[in-house]
Amino acid sequence: MQLAAKAFKQVFLKHMLLGLRRASPIASLQGRKAAIQLSSNVALAVARGDRRRWPRGLLSRLAQQEERLARPFLKLLLGDDRYRKLIPQSRKITKRSLKLIRSRKTTTIKNVAKKKKKSTENGSALAKCFLAKRMQLLKSLVPGGNSMGGSSLLEETLDYVVFLQWQVNLMRGLVETFQFSNPRAQNKWTLEERKEAEEGEQLN
């Protein structure tokens, strides 16, 4: 586990710092925030690798973004070859997910009708319906979750949560290091945030 954490840390920081360099010339505070978030998500998926399905789902989700920022960052952090492979893959995943959603909706309608008939006879129908709703919510939270089901969804969710925690810890470490090495930057960042907040209040 320690070796996996160390390898993840190295790859994550490499891609994260590359993204931060690209984000630094961006003028607006909102643009920099979006760039940092995008860099962090790409670094998370790349560092986890292709052993799981959620990193591919996360990259596919990012590749579908129409924002100007998303595509240049993906090309920079993934490389041209991997980015080209990602585009058709994201379309396939989207089509597969839509097909599964449609088929599940059809089966859900049929199942709901059956459950209504049997609800008076079987008290477990309500529990099953509740479980189905929770599973659907889980699929919406895990990248690529719409193409998963059953035990594979639970395995991917557990793995995703673990690596999200690692991501948070590394991001905190980067912030603390940056603030310690450059305390003036913290004051400047705070002033920009205050100015943006004041402008927002005036508009409201």
Tokens 């390898």 — which residue?
7
pLDDT, position 67: 63
Residue type, 65: Q
Per-domain residue ranges for the chain? Answer: 2-203
Residues contacting 94, CB < 8 A, separation 6+? 60, 64
Q: What is the pLDDT of residues 42-62, one digit of tens each?
A: 999 999 988 889 998 898 888
Q: With contact defined as beta carbons under 8 Å apart, do 77 and 42 qualify?
A: yes
Determine contact, residues 39/20, Cβ cutoff 8 Å. Answer: yes
- Segment 4-57, tens digit of pLDDT: 888 899 999 988 888 888 888 887 888 888 888 888 999 999 999 888 899 988
pLDDT (tens digit, 0 to 9) for every residue of the chain, 204 residues total? 677 888 899 999 988 888 888 888 887 888 888 888 888 999 999 999 888 899 988 988 888 775 667 777 788 888 877 777 776 555 554 555 555 556 655 666 566 656 556 555 555 777 778 888 888 888 889 998 888 877 888 999 999 999 999 999 999 888 888 777 765 555 555 556 556 656 665 655
Farthest CA pair distance, the chain: 69
The 8 Å CB, 24+ separation contacts for 28-34 are 29/192, 29/193, 29/196, 30/196, 31/69, 34/67, 34/69
Instruction: Write down the H helix ranges in the chain.
Output: 2-23, 29-48, 54-63, 70-78, 80-118, 124-141, 151-181, 183-203
Q: Which two tokens stand for residue 64?
A: 């579908």
Residue that is written with structure tokens 């005036």 in the block: 202
* Rounded Cα–Cα distance for residues 90 and 88 (Å): 5
The overall pTM is greater than 0.85: no
Give the C-alpha separation, 89 to 68, whole Å.
Answer: 20
Question: In this structure, which amino acid lies at residue 63?
Answer: A
C-alpha closest to that of 142 among 150, 153, 129, 127: 153
Q: Concatenated DSSP letters for 177-202?
A: HHHHH-HHHHHHHHHHHHHHHHHHHH
